[in-house]
Amino acid sequence: MKKFFQEFKTFAMRGNVIDMAVGIIIGGAFGKIISSLVADVIMPCIGMLVGGINFSELKITLKQAVITAEQTIPAVTLNYGVLIQVMFDFLIIAFCIFLMIKALNKLSRKKEEAAAEPPPPSDEVKLLTEIRDALKEK
């Protein structure tokens, strides 16, 4: 049993697992921010542009609600507006992630290019190279 826990501890404390956990937590928080942006800022603007429609309230009633003295049976609805809302959420989140990865790739390429290029020789090195070349010619 100790060996099992030791293996689990080794697995859980590897860098990749911890990095993945941090990424998932940050991704969840980022998802909430984007969902709020879509639901509270973007969708009202889109709804206003298309005539004041609130997409999350769009639905088709399949069966009307039944209200009797003993009980109330709610209506059966097909909430396609919620699907539209979730699709907008997905598209905007995917676009934001694309932009973030594109920016990160651009930054990493700049670092690689900066590391790949050797610094230009100093004036002293250039002068010494000229002297060496002149001595070789004689």
Residue pair 60/72 in contact (Cβ under 8 Å)? The answer is no
- pLDDT for 100 equals 81
CA distance 90 to 15: 29
Whether 112 shows a pLDDT value over 80: the answer reads: no
Q: Delineate the domains of the chain, giving CATH numbers in brackets.
A: 2-131 (1.10.1200.120)
CA distance readout (Å), 96 to 65, 73, 115, 132: 41, 42, 29, 56
The pLDDT tens digits for 77-90 are: 999 988 888 888 78
Question: Which residues neighbour 7 within 8 Å (Cβ) at sequence distance 6 or greater?
Answer: none
CA distance 84 to 94: 15
Question: Which residue in the block uniquely carries the two structure tokens 């920016």?
Answer: 103
pTM: 0.51
Whether 114 shows a pLDDT value over 70: the answer reads: no
CA distance 128 to 125: 5
Confidence of residue 116 (pLDDT cuts 50, 70, 90): low
Q: What is the mean pLDDT of residues 67-85?
A: 88
The pLDDT tens digits for 10-47 are: 777 776 777 788 888 888 888 788 778 877 888 788 87
- pLDDT for 78 equals 92
